[in-house]
Structure 1
Amino acid sequence: MKLREQINRISGLRYVTDELCIHSAAGRRCLMEQEWLTDKVAIEELLSRVDTAISFRSEIRKQRGIEEIAHKLTQLHDIKGTIQTLSHRTVCTDIDLFEVKYLAILNEDIRDLIRFYELEGISSPLPDLSHIVSVLDPEEKKIPHFYIYDAYSIKLKELRAQLKIETDEEKKSIIRNAGLEEEDVVRKQLSQLLSPHATSLETALEMLGALDLLLAKVELFVQLQWSRPRSAQQTTTLVGLVHPQVLCILGEKGDTFQPVDISIPKEPTLITGANMAGKSVLLQAVALAQTLYQYGFYVPAAKAEICPVDNVMLSLGDAQDIREGLSSYGAEMMYLSAIAD
């Protein structure tokens, strides 16, 4: 189950994702396509990378490196469609080749920054795309544009030289057309040469998007002072739990949110209290914390130990569905029936 499928089901989840300062479309897609994790090892791996990135912030040099990487990631374009074109062995346009070159150069720049500032712990090793840079940047200028260089074809170089000195318009037209045909030949050759590297390009794109998301998480968790949840075996324990969206709304009104401590064993748990005592908000906060944990996020609590679960199902409030002709009671019964199934 991807995060995009949960975003309107879990109260406060969209608020949290909107607060993330993600720099790129690739990073935003990576966020929305995150899978629901039930394996403790996989969850701990994501959380450990956040821990590492936060620890680097205490070192001035490494913090500078993280800031440089974040700045680079503002230049990351989501070229998944272009990479698919390349993988299908379709002849690329100049724009396609530019996008591939741009991604490869950006990947290599960030690889260099990670090595230089010794930031290896924040990401799995990025793929080596230096060979792609060499192919698309034969003049080694690392300029972010693409051009069919003379270096790609001796014939093309000769035709361009002839075009510069020819004065007869009819002959110039013939030479120009011959040059365009040769450029098409070069595009086809470059596409064939780069096609086997489509997987590496896709890996680089996904990993850079994940890195963008990671750095956004770090900024948010440090700013809001959220805590790293620990994986539990039997009982989920949340200390100082708040609902971040409600906390923000109350803060804007000059009111405060009372943090809650709660322990939830595997057995059914009953919460009782007077009307307007905060039972619904508490349930929403618990559901949000559980969901955030299983997508590799810190949680809005002072301390958290959470047991992974297969799913979070929350039934609260007015579930009336006019489009289906159901009353609030009928809609609620339908939803509870789906949960029971």
Structure 2
Amino acid sequence: MKPFSLEVFKNLDLEDIFERIVVHTPYGESEKKAMLPFGPEETTALIAELDNVERITALIRDNRYAFVDMRGTFSRIKDLRGTFLRLKAGEVLAVTELFEIKMLSLAMKKLSETAATLKAGFSGAAFATPSSELHKGLPADAAVHALPEVDQLLDPARTGTPTFYIYDDYAPELKAVRDRLRALEDQIQLERKRIRGALEARLGVKIRPSGELAVGKDDRALIERLNNEPDLVYSAETYVNITYRLRGNEAIDHMCSLVEDLRSEEESAEFEVRKILSQTLRALLPFLEENIRAIGRLDLLTAKGYFAIGFDCVRPDIIPPKTGAADGLATGVLEITEGRHLKVEQQVKKAGDGARYTAVGLSLTPGVTCITGANMGGKTVTLKMVGMLTAVAQYGLFVPAKAMRLTPRAFIYTSIGDLQDVDQGLSTFGAEILKVSEAVKLSSSPGLILIDELARGTNPKEGFAISMAIVNHLKRAAAMTLITTHFDGLADAREVRHLQVQGLSFVDFKSVLLEMENDPEKGIELLKRSMDYRLKEIHSPEEVPKDAIHIAALMGLDDGILKEARRILVTPRG
């Protein structure tokens, strides 16, 4: 299935969802960025992915400390794909690159060992499944394997330490060069030590092991002697001291020249070793690449599992399309029980004003469902929540709800917020109709269309007529359409389901208004505390409560204006 548009991503706050899926490796980040929603034709693959998330979630619950250890290992893994490209191109790797591959190999070994310790237990009725085989270890495509060939290649002494060096063991020629180097350097040190000792005895001073001697500028006699000393040379000075250092003699200069030649030989020998190591690693590259794919997959699956646990999510029940009509599911299902819009829920929790988030449930079928209710009743949040949970489920994630049943949608289309397009010279109404026209074209496919306040950008009379015509078209379409509206009568059309925000229907307004007399500024707090955002199905126009005037009262609107509004509301128009 194609990715959802950027507009859908924004309107449904999917960026917030993806920010909560926390990966720890560059390979996991790539897997996350490559996530695509599963479409109706990929239902089997979607169910398999949810099986994997269920498995990893159960393993996290039963092996908390193992996964803490695993994520610690993830955080130390670097992106070596550039190094692998150099290997493929036949280049010789640098020492730092060989070191990083050794670190990757050690991480792979650690992950493999951690995976072997995972208990195959299964906890929590929320994740019940008929197949006990589902929970035995990690999914195959997330299994990271140790590569002893790489370990042995880059750690010939098998120390297991997180360091790397072109060891003497790699080549006899290299060892011979280094032995000669060490011998020469020892001779140079001995000669310098001899000179230093002779100077100390002759001058009665102490010279540093580094061969430096610092003298105060006020000791003029010693400075004069040092200036005439053939084995010392001026090095540097400050406003307090003058520093001298040992001068090399012919023997030292000759040995230093030999050292430079040996350094060049050592560098050539090391290059040959790095060349052989690179060639050997090139042959092992398919196994390394397979492992980094598994690391990315494991990282993402683990992130999905932590998301499910951290936000109290459940596995959506995926209903394949074209199910037998005898099951009553041939046209598709979208049912949500106590669904939560995560971003809004977190904002309510952070507000700390005593307000509680209200989970909302509803079910949709192909055709049109309308949600009505006064402003501040949560209609738009519910609309977004339906789209968010549908998208989240189709990304192979558990959903923030008590339960969800879903036949995957072929597309999700949104018309939410201020659609005015200044660049194209479109008003809010013009931009909205442009959007809705696109949705109408798509409606013959089993998708999900979400429209907030249809035709709100034009005059009420024409807006209602256009809205009713659109509803009449969409109610016969294969797509599921959910519309929020203020138009009286739109939700009461034949074959249109009408859901009403319960709102303030159970509030004792006398008590609430009495409470406001002592604190007139308390209206918003009382409204939040009193508003019931849950939905109920309406079967006749008489059942619909009128909450707008009640909300205006809570917001402190003048009593005289409120009385006039009530009079106008019950007065027949003539």
Tell me the TM-score normalised to structure 2 length: 0.55
Corresponding residue of 1:226: 313
Q: Which piece of structure 1 moves more, 287-296 or 309-318?
A: 309-318
1:282-315 Cα offsets, whole Å, 9 max, x none, are 2211111111112111001110111112332222
Corresponding residue of 2:350: 252
Aligned match for 2:268, one of 181, 188, 193: 181
Corresponding residue of 2:367: 268
Distance (Å, rounded) in 2 between the aligned partners of 1:337 and 1:3: 18
Q: 1:4: how far off?
A: 10
Given residue 98 of structure 1, which amino acid in structure 2 is its aligned partner? F
Q: 1:216: how far off?
A: 2.5
Q: 1:330: how far off?
A: 4.3
Bigger share in strand: 2
- Residue 308 of structure 1 aligns to a residue whose secondary structure is coil
- Residue 369 of structure 2 aligns to a residue whose secondary structure is coil
Corresponding residue of 2:167: 149
Q: 1:44: how far off?
A: 2.0
- Residue 35 of structure 1 aligns to a residue whose secondary structure is coil
Aligned match for 1:164, one of 177, 182, 197: 182
Aligned match for 2:58, one of 51, 55, 59: 55
Corresponding residue of 1:132: 150
Q: 1:6: how far off?
A: 8.0
- Residue 77 of structure 1 aligns to a residue whose secondary structure is coil
Given residue 106 of structure 1, which amino acid in structure 2 is its aligned partner? A
Bigger share in helix: 1
Distance (Å, rounded) in 1 between the aligned partners of 2:26 and 2:8: 17
Structure 1 segment 9-24 matched on structure 2, within 5 A: 9-24=10-25
In structure 2, relative to structure 1, the CA distance for the partners of 1:210 and 1:259 (3 Å cut) is same
In structure 2, relative to structure 1, the CA distance for the partners of 1:334 and 1:188 (3 Å cut) is farther
1:116-161 Cα offsets, whole Å, 9 max, x none, are 3346523323244221121111111222232211122211111111
Q: 1:77: how far off?
A: 1.9
In structure 2, relative to structure 1, the CA distance for the partners of 1:84 and 1:336 (3 Å cut) is farther
> Larger relative contact order (C-alpha < 8 A, sep ≥ 6)?
1
Tell me the TM-score normalised to structure 1 length: 0.89
In structure 2, relative to structure 1, the CA distance for the partners of 1:4 and 1:316 (3 Å cut) is closer
Distance (Å, rounded) in 2 between the aligned partners of 1:32 and 1:44: 21
Given residue 123 of structure 1, which amino acid in structure 2 is its aligned partner? P
Contact 2:27 2:79 survives alignment (8 Å) = yes
Q: Which piece of structure 1 moves more, 156-165 or 320-329?
A: 320-329
Alignment identity in percent?
A: 24
Q: 1:58: how far off?
A: 5.0
Given residue 370 of structure 2, which amino acid in structure 1 is its aligned partner? I
Given residue 313 of structure 2, which amino acid in structure 1 is its aligned partner? W
Contact 2:11 2:416 survives alignment (8 Å) = no
Aligned match for 1:195, one of 260, 271, 282: 282
- Residue 347 of structure 2 aligns to a residue whose secondary structure is helix
Contact 1:226 1:299 survives alignment (8 Å) = yes
In structure 2, relative to structure 1, the CA distance for the partners of 1:326 and 1:129 (3 Å cut) is farther
Distance (Å, rounded) in 1 between the aligned partners of 2:10 and 2:285: 36
- Work out whether 1:96 is the aligned partner of 2:93: no
Distance (Å, rounded) in 1 between the aligned partners of 2:5 and 2:119: 34
Given residue 320 of structure 1, which amino acid in structure 2 is its aligned partner? Q
Given residue 69 of structure 1, which amino acid in structure 2 is its aligned partner? M
- Residue 367 of structure 2 aligns to a residue whose secondary structure is coil
Distance (Å, rounded) in 2 between the aligned partners of 1:58 and 1:146: 37
Contact 1:86 1:191 survives alignment (8 Å) = yes
- Residue 226 of structure 1 aligns to a residue whose secondary structure is coil
- Work out whether 1:41 is the aligned partner of 2:44: yes
Structure 2, unaligned runs of 5 or more:
121-135, 189-254, 321-331, 443-574
Q: 1:22: how far off?
A: 2.7
- Residue 313 of structure 1 aligns to a residue whose secondary structure is strand
Contact 1:83 1:198 survives alignment (8 Å) = yes
Corresponding residue of 1:307: 407
1:66-89 Cα offsets, whole Å, 9 max, x none, are 232222222122222222222232
- Residue 287 of structure 1 aligns to a residue whose secondary structure is helix
Contact 1:72 1:110 survives alignment (8 Å) = yes
In structure 2, relative to structure 1, the CA distance for the partners of 1:155 and 1:203 (3 Å cut) is same
Corresponding residue of 1:241: 339
CA RMSD, aligned part only? Answer: 2.5
- Work out whether 1:107 is the aligned partner of 2:108: yes
Structure with bigger gyration radius? 2
Given residue 399 of structure 2, which amino acid in structure 1 is its aligned partner? V
Corresponding residue of 1:206: 293
Q: Which piece of structure 1 moves more, 292-301 or 85-94?
A: 85-94
- Residue 271 of structure 1 aligns to a residue whose secondary structure is strand
Contact 2:316 2:398 survives alignment (8 Å) = yes
Structure 1, unaligned runs of 5 or more:
none
Given residue 300 of structure 1, which amino acid in structure 2 is its aligned partner? P
Q: Which piece of structure 1 moves more, 323-332 or 197-206?
A: 323-332
In structure 2, relative to structure 1, the CA distance for the partners of 1:93 and 1:311 (3 Å cut) is farther
Contact 2:57 2:308 survives alignment (8 Å) = no
In structure 2, relative to structure 1, the CA distance for the partners of 1:275 and 1:109 (3 Å cut) is same
In structure 2, relative to structure 1, the CA distance for the partners of 1:93 and 1:127 (3 Å cut) is same
1:233-268 Cα offsets, whole Å, 9 max, x none, are 321111111111011112233322322222122x22
Corresponding residue of 2:203: none
- Residue 412 of structure 2 aligns to a residue whose secondary structure is coil
Distance (Å, rounded) in 2 between the aligned partners of 1:123 and 1:67: 19
Q: 1:3: how far off?
A: 8.0
